[in-house]
Chain A
Amino acid sequence: MNPQIFDKLKTLAEAAKYDVSCASSGTSRPNSEKGLGSAAGWGICHSFTEDGRCVSLLKTMLTNYCIYDCGYCANRRSNDIPRTTFSVSELVELTIEFYRRNYIEGLFLSSGIVRNADYTMERMVRVAKDLRTIHRYNGYIHLKSIPGASRELVAEAGLYADRLSCNIEMPSEQSLKLIAPDKDYQSVFRPMHYIQQGVLENKEDRKKFRHAPRFAPAGQSTQMIIGGSPDDDNKILHLANAMYQRPAMKRVYYSGYIHINQYDTRLPALITPPLVRENRLYQSDWLMRFYGFKVDEIVNEKHPNLELEIDPKLSWALRNPQFFPVDVNTADYEMILRIPGVGVKSAQLIIASRKFGRLTSENLKKIGVVMKRARYFITCNELPTFTVNEAKPEYIRRALTEPTKKKRKTNERQMKIPFEG
């Protein structure tokens, strides 16, 4: 083994670490003919870093040399940092050996841009290709498509990768151009479009020929940096919502801006990254994807920013007291999901259990409903009726924020809050 590999890994993993998409979920790839590995369809976290993030993939860059100069990125050309490059075989060996020891679910590969987009993209594709064809590796592969890469290379990448991503980076083109002068929305949207087309064409092919190779079966994802530009949550969530309307777009990630570029005046000098805001955006994202909320219900012109104090679902409920209280014994699933303190799981349990008899608040508690919140928004058999309509929304806001302050501090810092309420 080349002893340099230690330094390379440190440098290139460090360089890739701010890219947050940790998920390796979305594909199920059974092991074929006794090769190595399977993608289990749900992401398995194999470790957790000291900041509490899930480690599921070997996430690294191929190289941190870059010809571009994006203000939010530590690898930008003008930054004075040590640079290095993995060879294709080094990266392949690392992936295989980590995988065999059950350290990881697979590889997440991104890269700085050397020479030009296609030259770089081609080497990334080589890594994926060697893993699949030479090592018969069936684990997960996520490739971050290089902005400006050609249709042919994106198409080839899709044959070997489970997921492809193109980061949109900034929530508006104006902000992107200001901070990353070499990029524009076209260079991001074009490969995004190639991927989308690849996935759709592949679907057709697979209808005709059952054994047609699969194209990026876990679809694509994207990421934007928040708090690095003046764009408000209304803008961010509407953009995310528009992304989700595209076929094959599976996840939008929000990454709180971390101030790494001390002298660049284009970017705000935040002392700590906007973690609470980031978390509120993830919660809103969940509301859109799993709770049946329309984006306009969460943010709009009149309410352009998420409240940091309370979560977006509670915030919606307090702004819309006319929908409450909800009778848990008769209301339909959609409405039950909207009760603060009720998660997807408890909503399903409520629907399943009430067939056997009327539910009491005791039952609800056992099912996992957070009664401390929910009680202002529901009626069931015997509950006293002190709901959001008798008490004023302002009173409930105070009742629910003040005593929990301490607890919130620790919870707020996690990247993916399992959304209950």
Chain B
Amino acid sequence: MLYYLYDNTFEGFLTAVFDIYFRKENPERIVNQTTDILLFTETHTIITDEEKASRVFLGLKKKISRSALNMLYLCFLSELPDIELILLRYIQKSLASDISIETNFADDDVLELSKIHKKVSREAERMRMFVRFQKTADGLFFAAMEPLYNVLPICADFFQDRYADQAWLIYDTRRQFGLYYDLKTVEIVRFEQTPDFLRNGKIKQEQQDESETAFQDLWKDYLSSITIRERKNLKLQRQFMPKRFWKYLVEKS
């Protein structure tokens, strides 16, 4: 049994693909270095290499469209168990085929990835929908989130474009990193020690902007005023706005 171990980055994964071709190997799994490995498993540790990764990328670019490449990246961000193997098979089939396989939905891997792609995109969309900023006393707009997939990086452009004139921080409490925008660029930041407000995602009263509570209350009032009681349908509400987001929603917590 052969396992490839890598650093969980997309480049690392592409490097692994390169090594598979170069070493003519066929690993059972491609997994994060930190995974517990059974005693007698043979391993090969990938050293992430920009050069190798970009050679795989360029090779793929000749075979599939930009949007298919982008789809592969999004699927990678799903972090689903053994997503690497599905991606690998897709890449192998693409490289072996004369025409692009990307619209062949009768192929199980193509179909599977298109479904995962949909799920990841949906999760990213939900970030754009359900992020709720709280204004702090020093003017920073803060939001905590717990996305199912690692979608924060692909939401950066959206938030940077929309909230260009305010400093903001969106923190992924599951993966323990955030995006911070300082009116110029977006950077990845990490808290060394988990601050209090990250436990429940709420900024304490004394650290809030003085009108923050008022606007939160206005928002809650607004939502309850526009509800049409004759049509009450909580099930439908939960279907569109799943419970797992409620913890960080001003109107639900």
Contacts and interface: CB of A to CB of B under 8 A. Distances in A.
Interface residues on A, range: 35 or more
B132 A102 contact: yes
Contacts of A58: 222
B228 A46 contact: no
B135 A100 contact: yes
A18 B228 CA distance: 8
Interface string B166-200: 10000000000000000100000000000000000
Contact of A6 (B183, B218, B231, B236): B218
Nearest to A411: B236
A353 B103 contact: yes
Nearest to B159: A102
Interface residues on B, range: 35 or more
B105 A34 contact: no
Contacts of B130: 46-47
A35 interface: yes
B225 A14 contact: yes
Interface string A17-42: 11000000000001100111110100
B1 interface: no
A55 B224 CA distance: 11
Given A37-B162, A101-B141, A47 B135 contact: no
Contacts of A272: 230
A359 B143 CA distance: 47
B211 A36 contact: no
B71 interface: no
B143 A102 contact: yes
A52 interface: yes
Nearest to A357: B106
A59 B133 CA distance: 20
A410 B236 contact: yes
B58 interface: no
Interface string A361-385: 0010011000000000000000000
A352 B219 CA distance: 45
B7 interface: no
Given A34-B165, A52-B237, A349-B105, A47 B226 contact: no
A59 B222 CA distance: 9
A398 interface: no
A125 interface: no
B227 A50 contact: yes
Given A31-B161, A45-B240, A98 B230 contact: no
Contacts of A36: 162-166
8 nearest A-B residue pairs (beta carbon): A52-B236, A352-B103, A51-B231, A356-B104, A13-B225, A353-B105, A17-B226, A34-B164
29 contacts: A1-B214, A6-B217, A9-B221, A9-B225, A13-B226, A14-B225, A14-B226, A17-B226, A17-B227, A35-B164, A36-B166, A37-B162, A45-B240, A46-B129, A48-B237, A48-B240, A50-B227, A50-B233, A51-B227, A51-B229, A51-B232, A52-B239, A53-B231, A55-B226, A59-B226, A352-B104, A353-B104, A410-B233, A410-B236
Interface of A: 1, 5-6, 9-10, 13-14, 16-18, 30-31, 34-38, 40, 44-55, 58-59, 94, 97-98, 100-103, 136, 258, 272-273, 275, 349, 352-353, 355-357, 359, 363, 366-367, 410, 413-414
